[in-house]
Structure 1
Amino acid sequence: MKKPSVVCLMGPTASGKTGLAVELVQNHNYSIISVDSALVYRGMDIGTAKPDAEMLKMAPHRLIDIIDPLESYSAADFLIDVQQEIESIFAQGKTPLLVGGTMMYFNALKKGLAVMPQASQEIRFKIEKNAEENGWKAVHAELAKVDPVSASRIHPNDPQRLQRALEVYLVSGKTMTEFWSQQSAQSLPFHMLDIAVMPSERSVLHERIKERFDVMMRQGFLEEVTTLHDRGDLHVDLPSIRCVGYRQLWQHLDGQDSLVDAIDKGVIATRQLAKRQITWLRGWENLEVFDSLSKDLAGKALKYIESRII
């Protein structure tokens, strides 16, 4: 018996994934599931480029606005939730369309999760102290000595993943790469059809990111972060506040940067995120990539999907 298909639409931030997904579902039998680690948070709408009410009415998205910014949401949580949503969509006689740029979630769905050692506060403190004294580039260099594969895919300006990768080694004596290589592959009850969308010119993506950040500021992004900041129970080290844009504006509100500098840093962080996403996609097996600048993008994507969907 053939497995039913799930369509996975990936791409870097600001590449046009959401617009394409909305076009696909409006006249076809698809239902969208968000694969975005930022869209899960309630009250974080502008800075995450969350679809507005009008767009959600045209094309409802599952797995958005499901937790408070004070809560955490892991890849393991996503695996549980997404498989329930996929089953629900199949039961409606529709095809799930998974859309987003959180590549770790897509990877977890495709390959399963590695069982990593638990966090150590003592080790984390040592790593953070090293970073404070010598900078995160020094931490990156230390990681490169013991786990060059992880170091090659983690940017020196990505402290969260740098810290975790080095922590895994210092706690267990095994690298994160070793843990991932030993992960147990899932036997999924469906077939994943993987496609991606991105501009053929990197400069176009960079400009889109800058323009979108400017639009978000005009829409009230600073006021949104101020509301979160004024709650009193949130802080800059939470996964929600570490989201690109939010962290930089939060630091501005803490008096660390001028607004102009915070915006510049937010744009740079978003471009770095896009670069990491593209790196993931370049290593993705059996991926069909569409140029988001091409004419009739939706038509081309639909033709490809319909020719291969089971």
Structure 2
Amino acid sequence: MHSREDCSKAVLIAGPTASGKSALALELAQKTGGVIINADSMQVYRDLRVITARPTPEEEALVPHRLYGHVDAAVNFSAGHWVADAARVLAEVRAQNRLAVFVGGSGLYFKALTRGLSAVPPIPSEIRDSVRARLERDGVEAMHAELRQRDPASADRLKPRDRARIARALEVAEATGRSLTDWHREGLPPLLPQGEFVALFLAPDRDRLYARIDARFDAMLKAGAPAEVAALAARHLDPLLPAMKAHGVPVLTRHLRGKITLAEAAEIGCAETRHYAKRQFTWFRHQLPEFAWVKPDEAGEWLDTRLCSPDQRSHIGAS
């Protein structure tokens, strides 16, 4: 096991869904005595263990796992909320002289971690509820027209049918009297400035990745994903909440309502997840070029050479 002096930087493991990030993080944390910190925006929800492929209870028992399943699906959990939680956990991990291993596929979380975040204050729930009610009553086009009056820059930037982001921009304008664009100019500093972290993006072969995505979706169905989604649907939550839009949730909800067969749901779910993985490749390439792209079978050695001195290397991936 290595001290923080040996392995002084935080490690950031990103990559597309089903690329093997969690397994790599687990092996690294076991070899270094590190703590795994979730950076996946859907694995924060306690209602969504199976459908988001969260680490199993057995895996979580092997090393400390933080920020997994700690948020109720009824909460509109944002990147700002996550950064606040991550700051607290990172301080605890550093106080214990342990290696922080951030792992996930949410590019916005990693961008907030390493580049900082806009300083938008929390939105009162009554304003959020009012905007959502108007959205349901008047429709997205009317709300986009209202946004054009209040915040023309955001209206120009957003697609006219992007319900969630239009609602968010209107909430900010109504709650603060300032546009989202204005708030974005005043940022919060990054938790991990350049030089304080080692970052990699797992980049598997596309065909192999897509085969893994299909196999994993099938495994989720057998492991109880339909029952998990049924329990979530029974809560009758706002369909605009992030948890309600997690990959697999909408399509399995359609199946449970008798709209499509389970086989059709699986086919659609796999296709949507493959498309999401493709977007993750594109997003990280353009938004976070400081992440080194590494093939999964080379990731252990890549980390090994960058974390510790030659005589103290953990030989991650050697087992």
Alignment of 1:87-236 (within 5 A): 87-116=91-120, 160-161=164-165, 164=168, 180=184, 183-186=187-190, 188=192, 191-201=196-206, 203-230=207-234, 232-236=235-239
**Whole-angstrom CA distance in 1 between matches of 2:204 and 2:275:** 16
Secondary structure of 2:272's counterpart equals: helix
Indicate conservation of the 8 Å contact 2:131/2:171, yes or no.
yes
Indicate conservation of the 8 Å contact 1:17/1:99, yes or no.
yes
Partner of residue 80 from structure 2, selected from 76, 80, 83 = 76
- When structure 1 is superposed on structure 2, of 89-98 and 110-119 the one drifting more is 110-119
Secondary structure of 2:293's counterpart equals: strand
TM-score (norm 1): 0.77
Q: List runs of 5+ in structure 2 lacking aligned partners.
A: 311-319
> Aligned-pair distance for 1:275?
2.3
Secondary structure of 1:108's counterpart equals: helix
**Whole-angstrom CA distance in 2 between matches of 1:205 and 1:173:** 45
The answer as to 2:241 corresponding to 1:264 is no
Secondary structure of 2:47's counterpart equals: coil
Q: List runs of 5+ in structure 1 lacking aligned partners.
A: none
TM-score (norm 2): 0.75
1:45 equivalent in structure 2: 49
Alignment of 1:11-90 (within 5 A): 11-90=15-94
Secondary structure of 1:20's counterpart equals: helix
> Aligned-pair distance for 1:82?
0.6
- Cα offsets for 1:79-122 (capped at 9, x unmatched): 11111111111111111011111111111122222245967778
> Aligned-pair distance for 1:208?
1.5
Indicate conservation of the 8 Å contact 2:113/2:191, yes or no.
no
**Whole-angstrom CA distance in 1 between matches of 2:182 and 2:133:** 24
Indicate conservation of the 8 Å contact 1:150/1:177, yes or no.
no
CA RMSD of aligned residues (A): 3.7
1:245 equivalent in structure 2: 248
The verdict on how the C-alpha distance between 1:87 and 1:182 changes in structure 2, with shifts beyond 3 A counting, is closer
Once the two structures are aligned, what percentage of the paired residues are identical? 32
Secondary structure of 2:84's counterpart equals: helix
The answer as to 2:303 corresponding to 1:301 is yes
> Aligned-pair distance for 1:298?
1.6
- Cα offsets for 1:174-210 (capped at 9, x unmatched): 9867754553544758813221112133x22222211
Q: Counterpart of 1:191 in structure 2: which amino acid?
A: E
Q: How many residues align?
A: 292
- Cα offsets for 1:283-303 (capped at 9, x unmatched): 3132211112xx453233222
- Cα offsets for 1:225-268 (capped at 9, x unmatched): 122223x3435332212111112111222344333332222222
2:316 equivalent in structure 1: none
Indicate conservation of the 8 Å contact 2:13/2:103, yes or no.
yes
